[in-house]
Amino acid sequence: MECCICSRNFSSRRQPVCASCTQAALHGPRVQQVSALLDREKQHIHAEAVLRPGNDGVIAALPQDADYDAIGAGIKKHAVEKAREEQQVLEAKISDITEKADELRKQIEGYKEWASSQKASSARRRSDLAVEHKQLEKQRPRMLDPVQTAGNKAQQRLEKVHNRTVDARALLCREAALLAGLQKRRGANGKAEYWLGGAPMTDLRDLHGKDMASTVSELAETETPVQAHELLSAGFDNICRLLGNCCHYLSVRLPAEIVLPHNGVPHARVLSEKYSYKLNNTPHSSTQSSQLTDPASSAQRPDRSGRPRLLYLALPLAKLLKEDPNAFQMFVEAATYLAYDIAWLCKSQGLDKITSFEDVCAIGKNIHNLFLAQEQARPPLNRNVSSANSGKDRDRPPTTASVIRLGAYSHASAHHSLSSAAATDLFRNWRIPPVIRLTDALKAHLVNEISGAEWDYMSGEEWNEERQDEMPVLIGSARTSLDQAEEPAMSVMSIAPNDGAGEDVGKKGNSGWMKVRGRGGEG
């Protein structure tokens, strides 16, 4: 190619030297680029046509020299074959579905026949059951009569065994009470006194009263002289032994456990309700038996909840209150727990006469009424075992009056158990105050009696002593006549005023409680 300006040919060796040569040199590559871009555009349009859905894409994909008639005939033939194949597949599916439907219809018909047969069978069974039920209702009385009769006989045998057990318990308790020396006497003052084993069972309110002093005076006349606190301790020990034996016969656990004398512990003790019948009870050592009379030991242990209360007095009650108030408190608690146990036992065995603090304190009366004075009426057995009233008698609960007697309720039997609901109903109306309130009432009563007492105890030797200021002056006779006579003659007047004390003197050797004023010039 030649340049139009310089008319020079171009080659690989010669380079353009002017603008026209440069444009001429670039004309060939520019033509090639345009043709490449046109080819690219054509290929892009063809690709879009091929990718277009429908027949347009198929036609666009064909070359330009293709035979469109042959291609259209082929397409139609292929479409017909494809439609035929799809029709065959659909016909096969329809035949399968039809066969499955026929099979399901047959199954439905079978189920309908089975359901109708089951319905008929159920109807027959219902009719048979109705007939059997009617027959059973007719035969029920005859079938239940032997069972009810056997049940009533078993109940009668159980009641018979229970009544024999109750009679045996009551007999053992009464014999134990008689062997222990339980008896009721008429005292010198006309009041009833209760004795056990040669020792009186004093009312808790009279532990420091005139009745105790008169009892000591009586024993001093007939037996070896004994002090009041020793007599009280002996009486409490006798009561505890009797209660221990009778509770063993009755199989009853008292609310407050009583620990009987054993090795190293010569006197009975009582545990509080919280610490009774525990495996970890306070050890019963011999050193604890004397701690009630030791003020130092009582002061060192103010917490008395777990300690056993000793039913023993080493000192008189008034002296113990003055020297060791803690020991006095422990003794009062022990006596109250014992009285509460006796009242609870009376209530559990059908004795409903204990309703107040005064009744609880009368321990001798309660024990005597429980073991010797309580009526032991035996409930009658129902010997009618017919089926007419067996159902009524079976469902009817036992009456309270027929079963509450000595030995009826126990902790060791399921029949009339003290742990049952019937025993709960038995104690539902019991209005005895708690032990704490009973203890406070008894302590207040004894403290008031001791602190406000104006009585000094005089032994028989003191009565024999004659004092100059109390020498009697006889009017109308000699003094020697009074010593010789069995009964005083004329009137006697004391030099020192004694507020009528001469009326209580009696014969020489008497001892008792006497209100004294003006002894030795005092007062």
Map residue 379 onto helix, strand or coil: coil
Confirm whether 501 is domain-assigned.
yes
Mean pLDDT is highest, among 286-295, 326-335, 371-380, 478-487, for 326-335
pLDDT at 22 over 60: yes
Compute the average pLDDT of residues 433-442. 91
Confirm whether 316 is domain-assigned.
no
Compute the average pLDDT of residues 433-452. 88
Same domain, 260 and 340: yes
What is the pLDDT, as a whole number, of residue 245?
Answer: 92
Same domain, 362 and 250: yes
pLDDT at 414 over 50: yes
| Contact residues for 508 (Cβ-Cβ < 8 A; gap 6+) | 463, 464
What is the pLDDT, as a whole number, of residue 277?
Answer: 84
Same domain, 414 and 361: yes
Whose structure tokens read 């309703």?
Answer: 355
| Structural domain range at position 419 | 176-273+333-441
Compute the average pLDDT of residues 325-338. 92
pLDDT at 187 over 60: yes
Which of 58-72, 132-146, 157-171 shows the lowest mean pLDDT across its residues?
A: 58-72
What is the pLDDT, as a whole number, of residue 398?
Answer: 45
Same domain, 435 and 461: no
Cα–chain-centroid distance for residue 344?
19
What is the pLDDT, as a whole number, of residue 517?
Answer: 43
What is the pLDDT, as a whole number, of residue 273?
Answer: 86
Please give the C-alpha separations between residue 30 and each of 1, 26, 27, 39, 292, in angstroms, as whole numbers. Answer: 15, 6, 5, 14, 136
Same domain, 471 and 366: no
Q: Alpha-carbon distance 509 to 458, whole Å? A: 11
Same domain, 354 and 383: yes
Number of domains in the chain: 3
Residue of 280 and 350 predicted with greater confidence: 350
pLDDT digits (tens, 9 = 90+) for 268-327: 999 988 888 886 544 443 333 333 334 333 334 444 566 888 888 888 888 888 899 999
pLDDT band at 418 (very low <50, low <70, confident <90, very high): confident
What is the pLDDT, as a whole number, of residue 339?
Answer: 93
Q: Alpha-carbon distance 329 to 252, whole Å? A: 28
pLDDT band at 62 (very low <50, low <70, confident <90, very high): low
Compute the average pLDDT of residues 398-410. 66
Instruction: Report the candidate in 234, 182, 188 with the shortest Cα–Cα distance to residue 215.
Output: 188
CA dihedral for 49, 50, 52, 56, sign (positive or negative): positive
Same domain, 435 and 459: no
pLDDT band at 343 (very low <50, low <70, confident <90, very high): very high
Residue of 14 and 285 predicted with greater confidence: 14
Answer with the one of 386, 408, 441 that is the final residue of a domain.
Answer: 441
| Contact residues for 369 (Cβ-Cβ < 8 A; gap 6+) | 346, 351, 353
Confirm whether 366 is domain-assigned.
yes
Confirm whether 160 is domain-assigned.
no
Q: Alpha-carbon distance 398 to 382, whole Å? A: 12
Answer with the one of 441, 462, 483 that is the final residue of a domain.
Answer: 441
Answer with the one of 417, 441, 465 that is the final residue of a domain.
Answer: 441
Confirm whether 359 is domain-assigned.
yes
Q: Alpha-carbon distance 188 to 354, whole Å? A: 26
pLDDT band at 119 (very low <50, low <70, confident <90, very high): very high
Instruction: Report the candidate in 335, 355, 332, 313 with the shortest Cα–Cα distance to residue 201.
Output: 335
Which of 9-23, 102-116, 413-427, 441-455 shows the lowest mean pLDDT across its residues?
A: 9-23
Compute the average pLDDT of residues 19-38. 84
Same domain, 472 and 437: no
What is the pLDDT, as a whole number, of residue 424?
Answer: 82
Helices 325-348 & 435-451, crossing angle to 10 degrees?
130
Same domain, 269 and 377: yes
Mean pLDDT is highest, among 39-48, 145-154, 512-521, for 145-154
Same domain, 470 and 437: no
Instruction: Report the candidate in 206, 226, 467 with the shortest Cα–Cα distance to residue 361.
Output: 206
pLDDT band at 431 (very low <50, low <70, confident <90, very high): confident
Confirm whether 264 is domain-assigned.
yes
Instruction: Report the candidate in 297, 276, 400 with the shortest Cα–Cα distance to residue 347.
Output: 400
Confirm whether 181 is domain-assigned.
yes
pLDDT at 344 over 80: yes
pLDDT digits (tens, 9 = 90+) for 150-159: 999 998 998 8
What is the pLDDT, as a whole number, of residue 266?
Answer: 86
What is the pLDDT, as a whole number, of residue 93?
Answer: 95
pLDDT at 68 over 50: yes
Q: Alpha-carbon distance 124 to 118, whole Å? A: 10
What is the pLDDT, as a whole number, of residue 177?
Answer: 92
Compute the average pLDDT of residues 444-456. 74
DSSP result, 31-59:
HHHHHHHHHHHHHHHHHHHHHSSSHHHHH
Q: What percent of the chain has pLDDT over 70?
A: 66
pTM metric for this prediction:
0.57
Which of 37-41, 358-362, 499-503 shows the lowest mean pLDDT across its residues?
A: 499-503
pLDDT at 236 over 50: yes
Confirm whether 130 is domain-assigned.
no
Average pLDDT across the chain, whole number: 75
pLDDT band at 407 (very low <50, low <70, confident <90, very high): confident
Contact (CB, 8 A) for 494 and 474:
no
CA dihedral for 505, 511, 514, 517, sign (positive or negative): positive
Same domain, 408 and 485: no
Residue of 215 and 31 predicted with greater confidence: 31
Same domain, 511 and 412: no
